[in-house]
Chain A
Amino acid sequence: MDIGSHVITLMAALILVVQLLMTAQRQLPTSIRLFAIQSLLLAAIAAVVAYYHNASHVYIVAGLTLAGKVFFLPWLLNRLVQRIQIHQEIEPLFNAPTSMLICGGLTLLGYVVARPFTSLERLGNNTLPVALTLLLTGFFLMINCRKALTQVLALLTVENGVMLAAVAVASYGMPLVVELGIFFDVLVAVMVLGILVYRIRETFASMDTSKLNQLKG
Chain B
Amino acid sequence: MFVHDTLLNRLKRGCATMAYPAGPAPALPERHGGALRVEAAKCQADCAACVAVCPTEAVTRPPDRRVALDLGRCLFCAECVKACPTGAITQTGDHRLAVRRREDLVLGEAGNEQLRLAGVLDEKLRRLFRRSLKLRQVSAGGCNACEADTNVLGTIGWDLGRFGIQFVASPRHADGLLITGPVSKNMELALQKTYAAVPEPRIVIAVGACAIAGGPFVGHPQVHNGAGVLLPVDLFIPGCPPHPLTILDGLIRLLGRLEESGRKTG
Are A and B direct contacts in the complex by CB distance below 8 Å? no
What is A's interface to B at a CB cutoff of 8 Å? Answer: none
